[in-house]
Structure 1
């Protein structure tokens, strides 16, 4: 089965088109000001006309006001909204109904017991993103280039679509997929030279690695 890929934290049309060319299913754009990957509404609107149409667009939000999320959906013509904050399950349904988009809910994981957090959202979201919990002292949500024990997902009979994230790179992707059983993966810092600065070579290498997995 093919491995679906999401290249997240994109901020230029050049890298978005490169990711789509090499087969990314999703292109992720972060609307969170503290992040070095933050995209403003104005930048999103300007970029929109230059983005590829063959990949799905995902906006990533952290405890954002629903009006702001709606503005971002309009600015970038988003297909998906990814919620990376402290949202309640009913908020997921509210956003889906209000905006007509699909929703990914991120769940932080460090041990097997954390996987149960997804149960409350599974019937509301269209997919769950299992990401590493932020390391101690981190100021941003998400894996922050660290991973969690992938094998804890291997024996789970999950009834909903899910993606694996946290510390993935082209080099460790085959092991991550083999150990977790993931059919969809999400990468951000693993295809960067420095925080927020994407590398075209690393994007290509990651997507080629995903295609090579059987």
Structure 2
């Protein structure tokens, strides 16, 4: 199971996290987020992240020019679109050679058929919890809703995931056959917004690995 740790914004904390070798690390470029990176992380620091850890920039209804420039400045490997971006918007970024994770906010009213037009223009989907505002909620949606998904495109599971969820997540993947590419963790592993509890992240990764081996 791959791990994405999102919302990093402090250099020392980032370096400590990288020792755990996460598969993805996320940086938020949405100004209204408490984890907005702003000027707290130098571009060269982000560029120096080892190649085995993919760098993801998170955007909400940003312009194409802003996204393209940010990808170049920070050497991002993926952009995560967390707003109301339409398929044509994704297509324009894809045409520029940008790898795309498109986030969708899920609740019991979510219509999974709307994903069909996004499939050709995204590399992965990300399923998060629906809320009134953009960004994380710290709560999980009802994962049984994923049974409605046609499972064609691999996805990231996000939304209020905590340390105790490791076994449940692996069980969900095994029993349903869902193409769960990675688990996206954030607020439940923080000491404060943007500062991760490294030992908690370490234990989560270890639990996932142990459970996978035992399975």
TM-score, normalising length from structure 2?
0.86
- Secondary structure of 1:123's match? helix
Q: 62, 76, 93: which one pairs with 1:95?
A: 93
- Tell me: CA distance 1:96–1:50, structure 2 relative to 1, closer, same or farther (3 Å): same
In structure 1, the partner of 2:107 is 110
The 3 A distance-change label for structure 1 pair 42 and 148 is closer
Which of these residues, 155, 159, 165, is aligned with residue 152 of structure 2?
159
Counterpart for residue 191 of structure 1: 189
CA deviations over 1:169-191 (Å, ceiling 9, x no partner): 12113213323543411111121
Q: Tell me how far 1:20 sits from its aligned partner.
A: 3.5
Does residue 170 (structure 1) correspond to residue 163 (structure 2)? The answer is yes
Q: How many residues align?
A: 207
Q: Secondary structure at the match of 1:213?
A: helix
Residue 138 of structure 2 is aligned to residue 148 of structure 1: no
User: TM-score by structure 1 length?
Assistant: 0.87
Partner of 2:123: 126
Give the direction of change, closer, same or farther, for the CA distance of 1:112–1:24 in structure 2 (3 Å limit). farther
Q: Distance in 2 between matches of 1:103 and 1:210?
A: 26
User: Whole-Å Cα distance in 2 between the matches of residues 108 and 73 of structure 1?
Assistant: 24
Counterpart in 1 of 2:206? Answer: 208
Contact 2:47 2:75 (8 Å CA) reproduced: no
